[in-house]
Amino acid sequence: MNHDLQSVIESVRAGDARALARAISTVENHAPGWSDLLKALFPHTGKARIIGLTGAPGAGKSTLVDHLARLYRKEKRTVGIVAVDPTSPYTGGAILGDRIRMQEHFSDPGIYIRSMATRGSLGGLARATADVTTVLDASGRDVILIETVGVGQDEVDIVRLAYITIVILVPGMGDDVQTIKAGIMEIADIFVINKSDHEGAERVEREIRAMQALSARHDGWTPPIVKTVASEGQGIEQLALVIAEYEAYLEKENRAQKKSVNNWQQRLVEMLRDAMLEKARAQLGDGNLARFAAEVAEHKRDPYSLVEEIASRSSD
Ligand SMILES: Nc1nc2c(ncn2[C@@H]2O[C@H](COP(=O)(O)OP(=O)(O)OP(=O)(O)O)[C@@H](O)[C@H]2O)c(=O)[nH]1
Ligand SMILES: [Mg+2]
């Protein structure tokens, strides 16, 4: 390992906030050296508890994350927050209350907040989030909270990398459990019904229970349901408790290990796909894709042979 890289790794692991920010930017932007950095950091990862929180826009994710972060700080655990959402208060377009909360956090070196600015570029958001999380993990954060809006496949991919996934629902808003993407419901280890001060929290709870009665999880865990009023800090301790219970559950019978193997199986496929695609693109060169597309559109070429040809060329 060269001397510069060595010193970057040491600064990141020592918890230096500027080194951490720089390392994250390098990884996020695929700046020169990004993959060497990740290779060198990886051996130092695997200790952080990665908790993913997902839910509809405005469900109260940031407010919950904020309270959880405070609670963990009281327990003297260090926290990293990754907000994967352009509309998140953490991106700076914050309403006043959020901004004040953020400043409070910024004065505490035990909390590091990062929002993911880019969407869909450089191999996808899920991949970028995973890589940023790797850097945070290597920096020795005890807990990493990932906030993401639960709307699409990207989000499902993102929460998949979490050790614990929390799905946040709210009463009303027309989002009955049935209408929520099945994919999102299936990944929940814990359900939170936030805004329980609003009417209809019981109904959401009944709907989740009904759904759970229809399909049991393979691992036998029944995701608990926690009602919260995040804006008042209500239910946060209960949430932290069920998180700890699920952690304890995972520690038994090698479940954590199995979960990790499963996650890596998926992530390796994604990483391979990215790498292969990058290679094929390089092989193709600029402009050729448009030329090939035109040829296929005009039926001068069949796309099946073309793809086979490009794939075999780029595998050399
Ligand atoms: N009444 C009520 N309001 C809440 C509760 N939790 C959060 N809010 C408010 O709901 C609004 C949205 O909260 P956020 O925490 O920003 O929600 P979010 O899910 O992070 O939103 P996005 O990141 O934009 O998707 C804020 O005005 C909060 O103060 C709650 O339990 N009850
Ligand atoms: Mg938010």
Q: Contact, 41 vs 134, CB < 8 A?
A: yes
pLDDT tens across 190-241, in order? Answer: 999 999 999 999 999 998 898 888 877 888 899 999 999 999 999 999 999 9
**Ligand 1 mutation pick, 231, 236, 238, max ligand atoms within 8 A of CB:** 231
pLDDT of residue 137: 96
C-beta atoms surrounding 173 within 10 Å: 14
pLDDT tens across 16-71, in order? Answer: 989 999 999 999 888 999 999 999 999 999 999 999 998 888 889 989 999 999 99
**Ligand 1 mutation pick, 63, 66, 82, max ligand atoms within 8 A of CB:** 63
Q: Is the CB of 229 under 6 A from ligand 1?
A: yes
pLDDT of residue 270: 83
Give the span between the Cα atoms of 252 and 244, in whole angstroms.
Answer: 13
In the reported structure, the alpha carbon of residue 105 is separated from the centroid of ligand 1 by a whole-number distance in angstroms of 18
Q: Is the CB of 92 under 6 A from ligand 1?
A: no
Give the span between the Cα atoms of 134 and 82, in whole angstroms.
Answer: 11
CA dihedral 70, 71, 76, 79 (to 10 degrees): -60
Q: Is the CB of 59 under 6 A from ligand 1?
A: yes
Using CA atoms, how far residue 195 sits from 59, 115, 132, 180, 201, in Å, is 8, 24, 30, 17, 8
pLDDT of residue 90: 45
Stretch among 3-17, 28-42, 178-192 having the lowest mean pLDDT: 178-192
Rounded to the nearest integer, the mean pLDDT of the chain is 85
pLDDT tens across 100-151, in order? Answer: 455 566 678 899 988 876 454 445 677 888 899 999 999 999 999 998 876 5
What atom of ligand 1 comes closest to residue 196's alpha carbon? 31
